[in-house]
Amino acid sequence: MTEPIETLLYIDGAAAAASDGKSYGIFNPARPGELVGRAAAGTPDDVDRAVKAAHAAFPAWASLGYEERGALLRKVAAAITQDMAEVDARARLFTREHGKILRETHLEISRLGERFIQSANYAERLARDEVIRAAPNDTIITRQPRGVAALVVPWNWPLAILGAKLPQALMAGNTVVVKPSANSALAPTLTLHRIAELLPPGVVNILTGSASRIGDAIIGHPLVRYVNFTGSVDVGRHVMTVAARNITPVTLELGGNDAGLVLHDADLSGDAFHRLYRAAFMSTGQICYALKRLYVHRSRFEQVVEGLRAVVDAQVIGDGLLPETTMGPMNNAKQLKVVTDMIAQARAKGQNVIELGQVPDPALYAQGYFQRPTLVIDADPSLCVVREEQFGPILPILPFDTEEQALALANDDQFGLASSVWSADIDRAVALARRIEAGYSFINAHGPSAQDGNGPFGGFKKSGIGRNFGYEGLIQFQGYHSITAAPGTIA
């Protein structure tokens, strides 16, 4: 068995234990008795030191030009992705603490590097001001960084989601305090240490520990000028409340209950069912914008059910480090219970519930936080599995008769994060997608493997406020600044 590791905080250019010396254990969700490592349990005093360090480092960092910051971001991207032996060691650690399969952990690490480069590539565009020459005055419209940005990262895709916040905040000229999830802190913290070491002291500060102990201290600190949070609706509501005490602006990327609409003319040849599988079950379904409700035209319903069932049943459930495994355990017991409760409710109501997939090691399956991928066929629309976010390997499939009915079903939800339309007629699919109440829509695909990071990402309704990714996500880390002079005086 690999020896447990220990990760530290990182404040003002140096790694440090928590001020009271405490740490907490992180265990392997495939083998919940196996200690993977310990992370420092930060305190409110540590928060204060980290925020003040970021605040002190802000003027010098903000004074750098965009090209200068971009060059440093490219250096970071190379450092965290090019040493393949080190990358593989970090990926294997991440799989052990998180549960997801090794292929996906490598994907996360590479995505993080790509997003540093993508943010650096905006340097020229960011440097351009808009000048309005019109009565009564000439006006320069520019932007400036906000100051200290608090970045709160969830457990499900922590490295990829870090890539939606950290490079953008830094490129915009902010310094940061990063709070990884307590459930998945080891590999993200080691990655963040490597990043912080390459930048001036205080620019990147890292705090691990329980949200109940340090969350409010970070969000509510008077020197924090911006909060970017990804997580649940309930916690997002709390973050918004705490931030409001200091009138601190927030970006909240919250839950989703994404609808996919398979129209009567959908092309289901080739790898279509594999794309549907990845849309719903990638990362054991623990993705905020996974496909979570599948609506299928009645003329194609049986074909979709049978085609998807065959692909899902071929999946191998087990330890994510094994090359044959295609679906690992869920990350934690709490989220596993959410999913198993939904399955139990559907069964109790007489639904057609099918658990699929191959389990080569039943003893391991019984021991870990595993759940076989599950389909609920012709699901009752009132079920929790339809009305609420599952965040796990379960997918309800429901028929529809007309596109207007499908649209109404898709929009009848408290969330509005992402959606997809599946049709051989791209113009038709795009026209329908425009009417779906969602911040991001896919055509003939769905989820992280199909996302374009050049476009802004976020949701409507309870899916949150603001956007990550793309140029639009980056400039949310800045505030507009208008400079006005007499007409004809600005060059």
Write out the DSSP string of 227-275: EEEES-HHHHHHHHHHHHTTT--EEEE----EEEEE-TT----TTHHHH
The set of residues, in sequence order, having a beta carbon less than 8 Å from that of 285 and lying 6+ positions away, is 339, 373, 390, 391, 392, 393, 394, 395
SS3 183: coil
What is the helix (H) or strand (E) element at residue 97, kind and residue range?
A: helix 84-98
Our measurement of the distance from residue 314's CA atom to the centroid of its chain's CA atoms, rounded to an integer in Å, reads: 27
CA–CA separation, 465 vs 417, rounded Å?
10
Which residues are catalytically annotated?
253, 288
Was domain 5-254+467-481 assigned CATH 3.40.605.10?
yes
pLDDT the model gives residue 372: 98
pLDDT per residue as tens, the chain (491 positions): 689 999 999 999 999 999 999 999 999 999 999 999 999 999 999 999 999 999 999 999 999 999 999 999 999 999 999 999 999 999 999 999 999 999 999 999 999 999 999 999 999 999 999 999 887 899 999 999 999 999 999 999 999 999 999 999 999 999 999 999 999 999 999 999 999 999 999 999 999 999 999 999 999 999 999 999 999 999 999 999 999 999 999 999 999 999 999 999 999 999 999 999 999 999 999 999 999 999 999 999 999 999 999 999 999 999 999 999 999 999 999 999 999 999 999 999 999 999 999 999 999 999 999 999 999 999 999 999 999 999 999 999 999 999 999 999 999 999 999 999 999 999 999 999 999 999 999 999 999 999 999 999 999 999 999 999 999 999 999 999 999 999 988 87
Domain boundary assignment for the chain: 5-254+467-481, 258-453
Write out the DSSP string of 125-156: HHHPPEEEEETTEEEEEEEEE-SEEEEE--SS
CA–CA separation, 217 vs 24, rounded Å?
19
pLDDT the model gives residue 135: 77
Burial call 368-403: b when 16+ CB within 10 Å, e when fewer: bbbbbbbbbbebbeebbbbebbbbbbbbbbbbbeeb
CA–CA separation, 455 vs 165, rounded Å?
14
CA–CA separation, 389 vs 438, rounded Å?
15
pLDDT the model gives residue 1: 62
Was domain 258-453 assigned CATH 3.40.50.150?
no
**Residue 427: count of CB within 10 angstroms of its CB:** 8
Contact between residue 383 and residue 351 where contact means Cβ atoms under 8 Å apart: yes
SS3 440: strand
Contact between residue 388 and residue 411 where contact means Cβ atoms under 8 Å apart: no
The set of residues, in sequence order, having a beta carbon less than 8 Å from that of 318 and lying 6+ positions away, is 30, 324, 325, 327, 328, 359, 360, 361, 364, 365, 370
pLDDT the model gives residue 488: 87
Question: Phi/psi zone of residue 391: left (φ > 0), alpha (ψ -120 to 50 degrees), beta?
Answer: left
CA–CA separation, 373 vs 14, rounded Å?
44
CA–CA separation, 166 vs 490, rounded Å?
35
Our measurement of the distance from residue 154's CA atom to the centroid of its chain's CA atoms, rounded to an integer in Å, reads: 7
pTM, two decimals, is 0.96
| Sheet of strand 31-40, all strands in order from the earlier edge strand to the far edge | 5-7, 31-40, 23-28
Q: How many CA atoms lie within 13 A of 230 on its CB side?
A: 30
Length of the chain: 491
Residue 357 is given by DSSP the state -
